[in-house]
Structure 1
Amino acid sequence: MINSTANKQVKRVVNLRNRAKARREEGVYVAEGLRMCRELSIKDTEILYVTEGFAGDRENRKWMDGFRFEIVTDVVMKVMADTQTPQGVLAVARQKTYTLEDILKAPRNGKLAIMVLETIQDPGNLGTIVRAAEGAGITGIVMNRETTDIYNPKVIRSTMGSICRMPFVCVDDIRQACQTMKDSGVRLFAAHLKGMNNYDQEDYTDNVGFLIGNEAGGLTDGTAAMADCYVKIPMAGRVESLNAAVAASVLMFEAARQRRNRKG
């Protein structure tokens, strides 16, 4: 049992939790809580850290079978965890690796639907977009390097497990990536104040991508110029714009609605 917060394993977990550079260098991340950890396969998990109380539960012990794990004290778990009230389990998991070419591979029974994110800064927004993307049937996510680290613990928690299933890639040049998508037959849409048509007046049943920009500044002019079409989300009352995650969700689920209707 690990009972000292000075233990090198504990220090490593805290470092991985706090530093994106450390996560990148080691190719791992920290996942916390039973729901999130249960999404991880044995193959994708380096090690579990669990408290005595957690490990003492029969159902938990049954689930842990096959995983490498270490038991830690409640005090040590509180130091390792990112949340105020840890659930008694966290994992060091292996990061997944995708390429833009992977994102552009058409699904077996459908068309591409890609989220393109430029400099999303809020971890909660990014995690919500990943989770909503899975729910809406999005086939992949493309982000620039300035977008917050997708393996930030707050992002991981916000995805509620979708991080394990949603393909994504970080690119050095978002505009070049947009051009590659266009060359591959993906029509790009941007929610933009210059949009002529409402978002629900366009056709999203073919290969499409949706461009979503920074929470404060929106899309940069250069990236917005890569869009084939600007659309607007009409507002009632005095609201001028939507949260980035909400705007992304509106577009993603409109595409999902159209595709369901097309199949019907």
Structure 2
Amino acid sequence: MINSTSNRQVKRVADLRGKAKVRREEGMFVAEGLRMCRELSPGEVDTLFVTEDFQKDRENRRWLTHFQYETVTDVVMKSMADTQSPQGVLAIVRQRNYSLEDILSTPLKQALLILETLQDPGNLGTILRAGEGAGITGVIMNRETADIYNPKVIRSTMGSILRVPFVYVEDLKPACEVIKREGVRLFAAHLKGMNNYDQEDYTDNVGFLIGNEARGLTEETAALADAYVKIPMAGRVESLNAAIAASVLMFEAARQRRNKWFPSG
């Protein structure tokens, strides 16, 4: 049993949790909590840590038969975890690797999110979680976007990071050109939009461009859009949070597709 917070493995978890550079160099990230860890296959897990109390539960013991694991004290688990009340299970996990080609090869109608320099980990995590709910087929981000393996992102995705494909690209412009050549029409929420967002047709292959929380899309990236749309505001609100705006667009696409493919009556 590991009972010291100065243990080498415990320090490794702390480094992976706190430093994006270490996560990139090792190709690992930290996942915690029963819901998240139970979605992991043994091949994805580098190291699994559990407490004695966690092992007392019969269902947990049955699940653990598929893994090799380290037992740690409650104090050590609390030092490794990023939450105030850890659930007694935490894993070092191998990062997923997707390419733009992987995302574009889906047989489904595309519903892509293209993110430019989003900085808030909570926004990024919310976008992945809401995106899965809306049926998006992939997320494309520039390198300046927050690290998707940040613990705050991982936690706020509620497991969607394991199910939604994503990729970072060096430059959004050539990536968007490839996407458009594949027949995907790009939309940007923009103050210059001629139509409200719900007046456009999203039932074919579409992608939504979402910009930085404070500055929005750069002119260069906005120019890649085939159409600008606006989300009408009541009151004195000028714009929406990036994650909310992305959710509005994604769920409108989902609504239109349901109505087209599964009309009521």
Q: TM-score, normalised by structure 2?
A: 0.97
Unaligned runs of 5+ in 2: none
Give, in angstroms, the shift of residue 182 of structure 1.
1.0
C-alpha distance in 2 between matches for 1:43 and 1:124 = 28
* CA distance in 2: counterparts of 1:7 and 1:217, whole angstroms: 43
1:106 offset after TM fit, Å? 3.2
Matched, 1:33 2:33: yes
CA drift at 1:189? 0.2
Q: Percent identical across equivalent pairs?
A: 74
Structure 2 CA distance for aligned equivalents of residues 263 and 58 of structure 1: 44
What's the counterpart of residue 149 of structure 1? 147
Say whether the 8 Å CA contact 1:188–1:227 is kept in structure 2.
yes
Give, in whole Å, the separation in 1 of the partners of 2:215 and 2:110.
27
Residues 37-186 of structure 1 mapped to structure 2, 5 A cutoff: 37-107=37-107, 110-186=108-184
| Paired position in structure 2 for 1:15 | 15
Q: Which residue of 2 aligns with 1:203?
A: 201
Post-superposition shift, 1:177? 0.8
Give me the whole-angstrom Cα distance separating, in 2, the residues matched to 1:71 and 1:185: 51
Matches of 1:239 and 1:115, distance apart in 2: 24
CA contact (8 A) 1:185 1:207 kept: yes
Which whole-Å deviations, capped at 9, do the CAs of 1:99-134 have from their partners, x for residues lacking one?
011111132xx3111000011111111001001111
Larger mean CA deviation between 57-66 and 70-79 belongs to: 57-66
Equivalent-residue separation in structure 2 for 1:68 and 1:205 (angstroms): 46
- 1:171-225 CA-to-partner distances (Å, cap 9, x unmatched) read 0001111111112211100000000100000011111100000111101111011
Instruction: Give the residue type in structure 2 aligned to 1:7.
Output: N
Structure 2 Cα separation of the partners of residues 232 and 205 of structure 1 = 18
Give the aligned CA root-mean-square deviation in angstroms. 0.9
Partner of 2:191: 193
Q: Secondary structure at the match of 1:43?
A: helix
| Stretches (4+) displaced over 6 A | none
Q: Which of 251, 254, 262 is the aligned partner of 1:253?
A: 251
Distance, in Å, in 2 between the alignment partners of 1:35 and 1:106 is 27
Residues 194, 231 of structure 1: 8 Å contact kept: yes
Give, as a single letter, the amino acid of the residue that structure 2 aligns with 1:185. G
Q: Does 1:263 align with 2:250?
A: no
| Bigger mean CA offset, 143-152 vs 63-72 | 63-72
